[in-house]
């Protein structure tokens, strides 16, 4: 039997329609971050994407770009706010520029350890969500970083050795203030440019958690890593509010649940990967220094916390007090 040309045309058209509907059924969300693919934050993002795709039966897909492919942390935050990309894990040098109150969450020597940081995250989830919603953003959870150390050409045997050190810091008022309080000379430089700044002597040192120092290879131009352990901190998993609200309620809940589960998964990687990173750095012939005097410096930072929060807003003071109330 020979099929008529008109029937074949109708059949072809129907097939194309089915394919078009199937293509439209999958929502693709873009996620950009500054860290390398093997960083714990990136591994958390990969796990998040896997959970989202699995739980949505393929209806939601997270398309990921790591290693600052889509820009610096500041540029990524601006892109999420504008809606150019959908999701960007971000800290003070990114989304914190839009929400000054959040600076208190990254205060030096504010948290005891990773467990304390996770407990605080549980306590402040609603507060952060309310802050974001005021400007049309949503928060899907937190990634965790720390404790931050320093890749430094000058050994920091004692905190007094920070005096006059040209310390690369993120482009954030808090980090500039922190460096000044430590006696160092703050040198704000975007994340992708740090290695070159150390190599050329624009900066004497750069600070970050051991895993970040390993994946960025900042230890190569400095030859030393000092364990100052000065900051544990969060990065928010920020999503554009309009994009989030356009999704079905079912898909919104999948994103929120996956964000929480991926947050706990990433928290479980932090200490192990930091230990492996330090071992790898030391194996490269780099000196690892246990900096002394950090407890006394931590006590002095209490006054810095109070003054800095008061200079931001009453909301920042209240958020700081809430953090301090978590044991």
pLDDT at 10: 43
Domains of the chain, each with CATH number or no CATH: 26-325 (3.40.190.170)
Q: In b/e form, how buried is each residue of 224-255, taking b as 16+ CB within 10 angstroms?
A: bbbbbbbbbbbbbbbbbbebbeebeeebbebb
pLDDT at 84: 97
* CA contacts within 13 A on the Cβ side of 296: 7
Across 229-258, average pLDDT = 97
Handedness of CA 213, 218, 223, 227 (dihedral sign): negative
> Is 79's pLDDT higher than 90?
yes
Across 1-22, average pLDDT = 44
pLDDT at 9: 47
pLDDT one-digit tens code per residue, 116-142: 999 999 999 999 999 999 889 999 999
pLDDT one-digit tens code per residue, 221-243: 999 999 999 999 999 999 999 99
Where does the pLDDT of residue 99 fall: very low under 50, low under 70, confident under 90, or very high at 90 and above? very high
Given the DSSP bridges, would you call strands 137-145 and 185-188 parallel, antiparallel or unpaired? unpaired
pTM for this prediction: 0.85
> Is 87's pLDDT higher than 60?
yes
Across 22-43, average pLDDT = 87
Where does the pLDDT of residue 171 fall: very low under 50, low under 70, confident under 90, or very high at 90 and above? confident
Ramachandran category for residue 229: left, alpha or beta (phi over 0 → left; psi -120 to 50 → alpha): left
Across 287-308, average pLDDT = 97
> Is 5's pLDDT higher than 90?
no
What is the CB neighbour count within 10 angstroms for residue 64? Answer: 18
Are the beta carbons of 178 and 127 closer than 8 angstroms?
no
Given the DSSP bridges, would you call strands 233-240 and 137-145 parallel, antiparallel or unpaired? antiparallel
Across 165-180, average pLDDT = 94
Where does the pLDDT of residue 2 fall: very low under 50, low under 70, confident under 90, or very high at 90 and above? very low
211-217 LR contacts (CB < 8 Å, sep 24+): 211/39, 211/40, 211/270, 211/273, 211/274, 211/277, 212/35, 212/39, 212/145, 213/149, 213/151, 213/277, 213/281, 214/277, 214/278, 214/280, 214/281, 215/35, 215/36, 215/38, 215/39, 215/277, 216/36
Where does the pLDDT of residue 93 fall: very low under 50, low under 70, confident under 90, or very high at 90 and above? confident
Which is more confident, 64 or 19?
64
> Residue 46 and residue 61: Cα distance in Å, rounded?
11
pLDDT at 52: 98
Torsion of CA 302, 303, 304, 307, to 10 degrees: 130
> Is 18's pLDDT higher than 60?
no
pLDDT at 37: 93
Where does the pLDDT of residue 215 fall: very low under 50, low under 70, confident under 90, or very high at 90 and above? very high
Across 29-48, average pLDDT = 96
Burial of 125 (0-12, 13-18, 19+ CB in 10 A): middle
Residue with tokens 């600052």: 68
> Is 45's pLDDT higher than 70?
yes
> Is 48's pLDDT higher than 50?
yes
pLDDT at 83: 96
- Number of H helices and number of E strands within the chain? 12, 11
Across 46-58, average pLDDT = 98
Q: In b/e form, how buried is each residue of 181-211, taking b as 16+ CB within 10 angstroms?
A: bbebbbbbbbbeebbebbeeeebbbbbbbbb
pLDDT one-digit tens code per residue, 270-281: 999 999 999 999
């Amino acid at each position: 039997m020979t099929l008529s040309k008109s029937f074949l045309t109708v059949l072809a058209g129907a097939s194309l329609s089915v394919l078009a509907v199937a293509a439209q059924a999958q929502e693709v969300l873009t996620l950009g971050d500054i860290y390398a693919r093997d960083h714990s934050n990136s591994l958390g993002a990969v796990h998040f994407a896997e959970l989202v795709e699995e739980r949505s039966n393929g209806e939601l897909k997270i398309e990921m770009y790591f290693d600052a492919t889509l820009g610096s942390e500041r540029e990524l935050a601006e892109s999420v706010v504008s809606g150019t990309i959908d999701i960007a894990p971000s800290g003070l040098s990114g989304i914190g520029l839009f929400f000054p109150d959040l600076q208190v969450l990254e205060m030096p020597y504010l948290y005891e350890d990773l467990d304390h940081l996770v407990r605080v995250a549980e306590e402040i989830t609603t507060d952060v969500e309310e802050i974001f919603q005021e400007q049309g953003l949503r928060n899907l959870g937190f990634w965790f970083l720390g404790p931050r150390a320093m890749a430094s050409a000058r050994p920091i045997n004692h905190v007094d050795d920070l005096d006059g050190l040209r310390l690369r810091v993120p482009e954030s008022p808090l980090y500039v203030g922190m460096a000044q309080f430590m006696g160092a000379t703050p040198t704000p430089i975007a994340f992708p440019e740090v290695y070159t700044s150390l190599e050329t002597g624009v900066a004497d040192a750069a600070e970050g958690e051991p895993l970040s120092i390993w994946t960025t290879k900042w230890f190569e131009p400095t030859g030393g890593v000092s364990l100052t352990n000065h900051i544990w901190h969060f990065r928010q998993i920020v999503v554009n509010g309009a994009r989030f609200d356009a999704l079905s309620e079912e898909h919104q809940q999948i994103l929120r649940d996956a964000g929480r589960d991926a947050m706990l998964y990433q928290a479980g990687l932090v200490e192990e990967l930091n230990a492996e990173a330090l071992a790898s750095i030391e194996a490269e012939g780099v000196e690892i220094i246990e900096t002394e005097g950090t407890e006394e410096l931590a006590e002095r930072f209490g006054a810095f916390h109070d003054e800095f929060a008061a200079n931001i807003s009453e909301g920042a003071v209240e958020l700081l007090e809430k953090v301090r109330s978590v044991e």
